[in-house]
């Protein structure tokens, strides 16, 4: 977490410097507010990663004496390809076209959304991935 922490700290420090310069040169409120919100976002992430890096044990890449072999092993679970994101995207498209062509299309999209999100959530309870 140390590398991530420093990455966000440096970006937050960049916006600490850039925001007042932008305000004094442009005198534009919306851009300044956008830069302040970006600063707040990166500041919150900096604080989060700082707290998390203090709470957890150091990873091999965070230690000075860390070896490549220390990071060996299972990395995680990576899902196979799935058709459900396509159906979820199609559902959002149908719901967005509802106000244009008729609200009945939005209602159809809501029903289709329930079906597609349920299928996406439970895709690992069927076929080869069944528990």
DSSP string, 53-88: HHHSPPPGGGSTT--GGGG-S---------SHHHHH
Kindly tell me if the per-residue pLDDT of 64 is higher than 90: no
Query: Which residues touch 60 (CB under 8 Å, ≥6 apart)?
Result: 66, 67, 68, 70, 71
45 and 8 in contact (C-beta within 8 Å)? Answer: yes
pLDDT digits (tens, 9 = 90+) for 74-122: 877 777 788 999 999 999 999 999 999 999 999 999 999 999 999 999 8
In the chain, what are the domain boundaries? 2-63, 84-129
Residue 102, phi-psi category: left (phi > 0), alpha (psi -120 to 50), beta (remainder): left
| pLDDT band at residue 58 under the 50/70/90 scheme | confident
Kindly tell me if the per-residue pLDDT of 70 is higher than 80: yes
């Amino acid at each position: 977490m140390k590398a991530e922490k420093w990455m966000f700290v440096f970006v937050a420090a960049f916006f600490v410097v850039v925001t007042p310069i932008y305000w004094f040169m442009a005198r534009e409120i919306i851009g300044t507010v956008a830069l302040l919100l970006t600063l707040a976002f990166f500041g919150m992430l900096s604080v989060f990663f700082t707290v998390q890096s203090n709470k957890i044990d150091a990873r091999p890449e965070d230690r000075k004496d860390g070896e490549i072999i220390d990071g060996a092993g299972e990395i995680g679970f990576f899902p196979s390809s799935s058709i459900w994101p396509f159906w979820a995207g199609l559902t959002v498209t149908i719901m967005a076209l509802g106000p244009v062509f008729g609200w009945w299309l939005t209602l159809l999209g809501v029903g289709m959304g329930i079906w597609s999100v349920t299928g996406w959530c439970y895709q690992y309870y069927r076929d080869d991935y069944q528990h």
